[in-house]
Amino acid sequence: MKQPKILFLAVIALLALVVVSCIPGTAQPTGGWSGPTVHDGIIYVGTRDGRVLAINSSTQSQSWNYTISPATTIYTTPIVDDDLVYVGSYSGQAYALTIGRGIERWVYPRTGSIGAIVGTPVVANETIYVSSSDGRVYALDTTYGDLRWKSEPLGKPLANKLWTSPAIMGDTLYISTFDGHIYALSMETGALSDWSFESEAGFASSPAIDENTIYVGSFDRHLYAVEIGSNVSMWQFPQEKAAGNWFWASPIVNEGIVYAGCLDGKLYAIAAKTGEKIWEFDAESPIVSSPVLIDNLLILANESGVVYVFDLSAEIRDEAVPLETISIGADVRSSFCAHDGLVYIRSENNSIYVVDIDKGEVAEGWPVSLAIAK
């Protein structure tokens, strides 16, 4: 009798262990994907528990916070335009809050959901363009949150889901999809342009546009350059063997050179016209966040929290040497921003770090969840 009972108890105990270890959400990391946005000395950031925070960068105190209920993750980086700050939630609603006090101006949709919003929206011409996990792009009026249009050619969504951010050139919105398409939409009506691009592999990154060319990272471990209007890619990088991993972060283009960070830990400088490698730099840790530019300085952060500064005005060399290397001592997965010579980084340990590029110093990080200033 003893053996069967012990066996029975062992099965129950192991199953309980499986349940505890596997139930979704039990191992939720504390960091955040929502990068910081700085406007008039205030840092705006979203949290995993559905809060939008406004933090005074001088006093490091919280100006206000707005909590989305029920709690949900905010993956999008807040966008500030005029007197409103915009965020999208994973529960599938877009919010406009006043920048002064964080009061809700509008929410779309008022009830229900349009599908998880992961890609950071873009704002132009008094319209906010939101890509959603229901595979559609929504154009909302920035003042009232009214729906201007949603992309639904032939009554169908553009893709199974859209997690990328749209990019704008002229009066057209460009969006890359996980199933390997780049679509061009009229910003005015949402109508699909006659041109679209199709690749065998899906696109992992949001598109970046420069001089009529779209640069986008693919799941096949290549960076694609696609001339708008063409059905074949201008080039794919690397030209021979694929890179070590995906080009997850959007590249940036400066003076004819594409700077693309890769999850294989390398930053590649690529000739925009030919796709030839100019140099590569091994950051020794995946590059999840897109690099940013401050004048002629390129700022790069790897996942391990090491910030590299490259002087782009220096003579191009075969091997790139960073001007400065600064470690913030915490992992970085979210986008970061530059403002007045300072770089604001939100880390996975849920803190904000301010890197002074001129001085080559990083101020001690402070936690995102601060008490509200009296």
Partner 1 sequence: MEVWNLIIGNPVLNVLITLSHILGGSFGLAIIVLTVIVRLITWPLSKRQLGSTKALQDMQPKIQELQKKYGKNQQKLQQEMMKLYKEAGVNPLGCLWPMLIQLPIWIALYQAIMNALATTPENLLNLAQRLYSWDVVSQAIPLNSHFLWLDLGGQGDFVLAIIVGGTMWIQQKMTQAPAVDPRQESTSRMMLLMMPLMFGFLTLMFPSGLALYWAVSNIIGIITQYFVTGGWGYLKFRSPFQPAPAKGK
User: What's the CA gap between 271 and 36, in Å, rounded?
Assistant: 30
Member of 138, 163, 174, 235 binding partner 1 (CB under 8 A): 163
What end-to-end distance do the CA atoms of the chain give, in Å? 68
Side chain identity at 278, as an amino acid letter?
Answer: I
**Could you say which residues in the range 103-142 bind partner 1, by CB under 8 A?**
118
Residue 248 contacts partner 1 per CB under 8 A: yes
Size of the site for partner 1 (CB under 8 A): 41
Backbone angles phi, psi at 7, to 5 degrees: -60, -45
The sign of the torsion formed by the CA atoms of 364, 370, 371, 373 equals positive
What strands, in cross-sheet order, belong to the sheet with 306-311? 292-294, 297-301, 306-311, 324-327
**Could you say which residues in the range 308-347 bind partner 1, by CB under 8 A?**
333
Member of 201, 234, 363, 370 binding partner 1 (CB under 8 A): 201
Residue 13 contacts partner 1 per CB under 8 A: no
* Residue 24 beta carbon to partner 1: minimum distance, rounded to whole angstroms: 7
* Residue 233 beta carbon to partner 1: minimum distance, rounded to whole angstroms: 16
Structure tokens at 347: 């880390």
Member of 70, 111, 112, 200 binding partner 1 (CB under 8 A): 200
Q: Which residues does 307 contact at the CB level (< 8 Å), separation at least 6?
A: 299, 300, 301, 324, 325, 326, 327, 328, 343, 345, 355, 362
Q: Are 293 and 300 in contact (CB under 8 A)?
A: no
Member of 137, 214, 263, 306 binding partner 1 (CB under 8 A): 263
Residue 70 contacts partner 1 per CB under 8 A: no
Q: Which residues lie near partner 1 (CB under 8 A)?
A: 1, 3-5, 7-8, 10-11, 14-15, 18-19, 21-24, 29, 33, 73, 75, 90, 118, 160, 163, 178-179, 200-202, 219-221, 242, 244-246, 248, 263, 286, 288, 333
